[in-house]
């Protein structure tokens, strides 16, 4: 559950989309078709680690997830309140979220599956999860 520090407003709203991509034999990259059965919790657990979800919940003040319009990804909008006057920028919610996210990325612990190999008959395809900036925001 996001924090409730919204007394002084909510700032730094960002929206990300998470998708799984695979590299074809001809080196082209395509989005992997997903089936989440309309379940956002399934989509969240497909892409993000428990630590990434905890970072969003702990440091975000407003947070919403949805399955992308094409059904193949997860969309997230997060915004941040402030801890109040006298709080150093580096200690406020947005910076804490960003620093924690960067540490998770460096440790290979942001995405549930960073990269793996899937064998389909005689074809092997590399797949990876990617996050991209997205619009419109969910709220």
Q: Is residue 55 part of a domain?
A: yes
Q: Is residue 4 part of a domain?
A: no
Q: Which residue intervals of the chain are DSSP H helices? A: 40-47, 50-59, 93-106
Q: What is the pLDDT of residue 84?
A: 86
d(CA 138, CA 56): 15
- CA quadruple 119, 74, 50, 36: dihedral positive or negative? negative
> What's the rounded mean pLDDT across residues 30-53?
92
> What's the rounded mean pLDDT across residues 114-125?
52
Q: Is residue 2 part of a domain?
A: no
Q: Is residue 36 part of a domain?
A: yes
Q: Is residue 16 part of a domain?
A: yes
The domain in which residue 77 lies consists of: 11-133
Q: Is residue 5 part of a domain?
A: no
The domain tally of the chain equals 1
Across 39-53, 59-73, 105-119, least confident range: 105-119
Q: Is residue 1 part of a domain?
A: no
pLDDT band per the 50, 70, 90 thresholds, residue 139: very high
Q: What is the pLDDT of residue 8?
A: 80
Q: Is residue 138 part of a domain?
A: no
**Is the pLDDT at 1 greater than 80, yes or no?**
no
Across 30-34, 40-44, 70-74, least confident range: 30-34
């Amino acid at each position: 559950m996001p924090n409730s520090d919204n007394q002084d407003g909510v700032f730094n709203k960002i929206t990300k989309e998470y998708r799984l991509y695979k590299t074809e034999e001809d080196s082209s990259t395509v989005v992997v078709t997903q089936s989440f059965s309309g379940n956002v919790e399934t989509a969240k657990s497909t892409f993000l680690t428990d630590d990434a979800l905890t970072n969003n919940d702990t440091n975000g003040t407003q947070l919403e997830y949805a399955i992308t319009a094409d059904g193949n990804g997860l969309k997230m909008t997060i915004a941040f309140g402030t801890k109040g006057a006298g709080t150093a920028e580096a200690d406020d919610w947005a910076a804490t979220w960003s620093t924690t996210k960067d540490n998770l990325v460096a440790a290979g612990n942001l995405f549930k599956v960073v990269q793996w190999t899937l064998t389909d008959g005689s074809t092997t395809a590399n797949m990876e999860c990617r996050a991209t900036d997205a619009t419109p925001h969910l709220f």
